[in-house]
Amino acid sequence: MEPRLNFLTNPVSGNALKHLSAAGRALTQSALPAATRELVALRASQINGCGFCADIHTKEAAHAGETPTRLNLLATWRDASVYTEAERAALELAEQGTRIADAAGGVTDEAWANAAKHYDEDQLAALVAEIALINAFNRLNVITANPGGDYQVGQFG
């Protein structure tokens, strides 16, 4: 399976990707826990059907010490006992933020308030930016049919 467009080698998309990647690097410096960032990125990628990003975030999370049980149960996090209340709040916000077009009112006040109980303002800012950024990456890869499976941990720095 070949992608429709190689985002890395095309000069226009490569330049845009450079800026999106810089935003991602900035988020790694935030106080939002790395495990939460990876779980949110993986869950949004599952929802959006982005095999490329699901491949990346599954492997990066495992490399960082995430357990197979937590990775395998992520799609059913509401029915699994292995996530903290803070992670559940982040995952709910990520799902509602990813499914904005499907929700009548977008992200609910309840989901926001629940996330705000667990994360300070800077962490919330990072969480919102992470959700927006992974959705942008998902759309780039889904539109161009970029397949998952070949990612190597640390491949993109």
If DSSP codes are grouped into helix, strand and coil, which group holds residue 99? Answer: coil
Q: Where are the domains of the chain?
A: 32-143
Closest CA to 87 of 47, 114, 60, 48: 114
How confident is the model at residue 156, as a pLDDT? Answer: 82
* pLDDT tens digits, one per residue of 34-63: 999 999 999 999 999 999 999 999 999 999
Instruction: Tell me the whole-structure pTM to 2 decimals.
Output: 0.94
Per-residue tokens: 45: 């990628």
How confident is the model at residue 105, as a pLDDT? Answer: 77
How confident is the model at residue 8, as a pLDDT? Answer: 83
How confident is the model at residue 125, as a pLDDT? Answer: 98
CA distances (Å), origin 119, targets 9, 84, 154: 38, 13, 27
How confident is the model at residue 68, as a pLDDT? Answer: 97
How confident is the model at residue 155, as a pLDDT? Answer: 86
Q: What is the DSSP string of 12-35?
A: HHHHHHHHHHHHHHHHHTSSS-HH
Backbone conformation region of residue 154, classed left if phi is above 0, alpha if psi is from -120 to 50, else beta: left
Low-confidence stretches of the chain (pLDDT < 70) are none
Sequence-distant (6+) residues with CB within 8 A of 146 are: 3, 7, 52, 140
How confident is the model at residue 106, as a pLDDT? Answer: 87
Q: Is the domain defined by 32-143 classed in CATH 1.20.1290.10?
A: yes
Whether the Cβ atoms of residue 98 and residue 127 lie closer than 8 Å to each other: no
How confident is the model at residue 19, as a pLDDT? Answer: 94
